C-alpha cells in the first residue's frame, strides 16, 4: 500500500486578512503551510503541495525539498485534479486530500482516515452538529433546522486513488469538497469522528484560536552554547563553515570552527543531551581534524529523532580580527544548508570586545549561540 497526501495551498485566502494568502502568513513562529505539511510527515509516503503559479518564490523554496509540487487550477477541484495527476507514476493506492488552512490536524485523525480506507473506498472526518440551527433573514430568525444527522465536514478526506481520479474526471464542477465529488461517482463515504481542534483558518481571529490550540501542546526549548579556540599558526580560520583568510589559524582537535561548535552545543543543550565533547570525545583520534559539520549534523539529527524542529538559531562570534561582516551572509547560508533550515531561521553576527580580555588581545575567538527548538 502506497499513500500520499495532497495539500491544496493554491488559494488566495484573503478573507483571513493580512494581505497575504493565509497559508503563507505566520502562525506561532512559522507559516501556516509549514505546520500543515509537517503534520503528514512520517504518516504518508508522498506529500504533494499544490501551489499557485503566482507564488513564484515559494516554488523556488520547495523545489529543493522532498515534496512533489503541482500547479493550482482555476478552482479548488482543478487544483486537486492537478495534485492527483502529479502522483500518476508513483503507484499510489490511497490518497488524502487536505486543506492547507487546517494546521492543527492530529496524527491520530490522519491515521483514523487511513485506517477507514481498509474497508471503504472513501472516508472523511465529520463533526456532529451540536448547536441548534436557525434559518435567518434580515437579522431575524425565520425558521429552524433539524440538526440530527448533520455533520460539519473536515479534511483530510481520504480515497482509493483510482476511484477519486475517475470521480474527478467525471464531475461537472462546482462541488464544495472531494466528498461531494466522490458521492457523485457513487462512492460510499465513511464518516470518521472529526476533531474540534482541526479548525480551518478562515477569519482573522482564527489565527489566535489556532495558536491557543497549539500552545496547549507545544513544547518550546532553548539551549545555549559557548566555545573558545586559541589562535596558533596558520593562514586561515574556519568559522560557521566558511574558510576565512587570516594571518593565524585556530587550534583545536577538529577544524576548530568555534561558531559551529557553539551552535551544536546550543542544540544539545536544548535537548538536554550533553555537549560535543560527550558525543565526540577529543580523546578519540577519529575526530582529529574532523569537519565540524559532522557534529552539527549529528545534533540536528538527534533533534529530529526526538521529535523537535529547530525554529531558529542565533550565533555571535567575538573577535577583533578577522572582520566577520563581509563573510556573514555566506556563513548563514552554509549553516542553514547543513541544518536544513531556511536562511531566515539562521543568524550569524559578530562583535569585538573593545580590545579587552583574551579576545580583545586577539589570543583567540569566542562564540555564543542560542537555539530554539519546538515540538508541537
Residues that bind Mg ion (CB under 5 A): 227, 261
| Nearest-approach distance from CB 275 to Mg ion, in angstroms | 10
Nearer to Mg ion, 21 or 225 (CB): 225
| Nearest-approach distance from CB 12 to Mg ion, in angstroms | 49
| Nearest-approach distance from CB 273 to Mg ion, in angstroms | 17
Nearer to Mg ion, 274 or 307 (CB): 274
Which DSSP string do the residues of 91-147 spell out, in sequence order?
T--EEEEEETT-TT--HHHHHHHHHHTTT-SEEEEEEE--S-EEEEETTEEEEEE--
Nearer to Mg ion, 39 or 261 (CB): 261
Nearer to Mg ion, 166 or 230 (CB): 230
| Nearest-approach distance from CB 303 to Mg ion, in angstroms | 19
Residue nearest to Mg ion (CB): 261
Contacts by 227-230, CB closer than 8 A, 24 or more apart: 227/258, 227/259, 227/261, 227/262, 227/265, 227/366, 227/367, 228/258, 228/358, 228/364, 228/365, 228/366, 228/367, 229/256, 229/258, 229/364, 229/365, 230/363, 230/364
Nearer to Mg ion, 178 or 227 (CB): 227
| Nearest-approach distance from CB 367 to Mg ion, in angstroms | 9
Which of 213, 190, 187, 8 shows the shortest CA–CA distance to 105?
Answer: 213
Which DSSP string do the residues of 302-336 spell out, in sequence order?
HHHHTT-EEEEEEEEEE-SSS--GGGHHHHHHHHH
| Nearest-approach distance from CB 317 to Mg ion, in angstroms | 13
Question: Which cell numbers hold the place of 51?
Answer: 501551489
Torsion of the alpha carbons at 184, 189, 191 and 194, rounded to the nearest 10: -60
Nearer to Mg ion, 255 or 334 (CB): 255
For residue 373, the tally of other CB atoms under 10 A from its CB is: 23
Which of 88, 82, 81, 57 shows the shortest CA–CA distance to 69?
Answer: 82
Nearer to Mg ion, 227 or 334 (CB): 227
The continuous run of DSSP H or E covering 62 comes out as helix 56-63
| Nearest-approach distance from CB 52 to Mg ion, in angstroms | 46
Which of 93, 279, 78 shows the shortest CA–CA distance to 181?
Answer: 78
Tell me the sheet residues that pair with 16.
Answer: none
| Nearest-approach distance from CB 61 to Mg ion, in angstroms | 32
Q: Which residues have CB under 8 Å from 143's CB, separation 6+?
A: 134, 135
Provide the greatest CA pair distance for the chain: 87
Which of 27, 50, 171 shows the shortest CA–CA distance to 100?
Answer: 50
Nearer to Mg ion, 217 or 251 (CB): 251
Is the Cα torsion angle 238, 229, 332, 245 positive or negative in sign?
negative
Nearer to Mg ion, 105 or 371 (CB): 371
| Nearest-approach distance from CB 229 to Mg ion, in angstroms | 6
Amino acid at each position: 500500500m502506497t499513500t500520499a497526501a495532497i495539500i491544496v495551498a493554491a488559494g488566495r485566502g484573503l478573507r483571513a486578512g493580512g494581505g497575504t494568502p493565509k497559508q503563507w502568513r505566520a502562525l506561532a513562529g512559522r507559516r501556516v503551510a509549514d505546520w500543515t505539511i509537517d503534520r503528514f510527515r512520517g504518516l504518508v509516503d508522498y506529500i504533494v503541495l499544490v501551489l499557485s503559479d503566482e507564488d513564484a518564490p515559494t516554488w523556488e523554496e520547495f523545489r529543493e525539498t522532498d515534496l512533489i509540487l503541482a500547479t493550482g487550477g482555476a478552482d479548488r477541484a482543478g487544483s486537486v485534479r492537478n495534485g492527483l495527476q502529479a502522483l500518476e507514476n508513483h503507484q499510489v493506492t490511497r490518497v488524502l486530500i487536505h486543506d492547507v488552512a487546517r494546521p492543527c490536524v492530529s496524527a491520530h485523525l490522519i491515521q483514523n482516515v487511513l485506517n477507514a480506507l481498509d474497508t471503504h473506498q472513501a472516508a472523511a472526518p465529520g463533526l456532529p452538529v451540536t448547536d441548534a440551527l436557525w434559518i435567518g433573514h434580515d437579522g431575524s430568525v425565520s425558521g429552524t433546522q433539524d440538526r440530527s444527522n448533520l455533520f460539519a465536514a473536515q479534511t483530510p478526506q481520504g480515497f482509493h486513488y483510482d476511484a477519486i481520479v475517475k470521480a474527478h474526471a467525471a464531475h461537472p464542477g462546482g462541488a464544495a469538497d472531494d466528498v461531494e465529488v466522490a458521492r457523485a461517482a457513487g462512492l460510499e463515504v465513511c464518516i470518521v469522528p472529526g476533531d474540534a481542534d482541526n479548525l480551518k483558518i478562515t477569519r482573522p481571529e482564527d489565527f489566535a484560536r489556532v495558536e491557543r490550540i497549539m500552545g496547549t501542546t507545544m513544547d518550546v526549548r532553548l539551549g545555549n552554547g559557548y566555545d573558545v579556540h586559541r589562535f596558533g599558526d596558520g593562514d586561515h580560520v574556519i568559522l560557521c563553515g566558511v574558510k576565512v583568510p587570516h594571518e593565524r589559524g585556530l587550534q583545536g582537535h577538529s577544524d576548530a570552527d568555534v561558531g559551529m561548535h557553539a551552535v551544536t552545543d546550543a542544540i544539545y543543550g536544548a535537548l538536554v543531551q550533553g555537549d560535543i565533547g560527550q558525543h565526540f570525545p577529543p580523546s578519540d583520534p577519529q575526530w582529529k581534524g574532523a569537519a565540524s559539520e559532522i557534529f552539527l549534523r549529528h545534533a540536528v539529527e538527534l533533534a529530529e529523532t526526538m521529535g523537535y524542529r529547530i525554529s531558529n538559531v542565533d550565533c555571535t562570534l567575538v573577535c577583533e580580527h578577522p572582520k566577520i561582516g563581509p563573510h556573514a551572509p555566506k556563513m548563514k547560508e552554509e549553516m542553514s544548508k547543513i541544518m536544513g533550515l531556511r536562511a531566515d531561521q539562521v543568524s550569524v553576527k559578530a562583535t569585538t570586545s573593545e580590545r579587552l580580555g583574551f579576545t580583545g588581545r586577539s589570543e583567540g575567538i569566542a562564540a555564543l549561540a542560542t537555539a530554539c527548538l519546538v515540538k508541537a
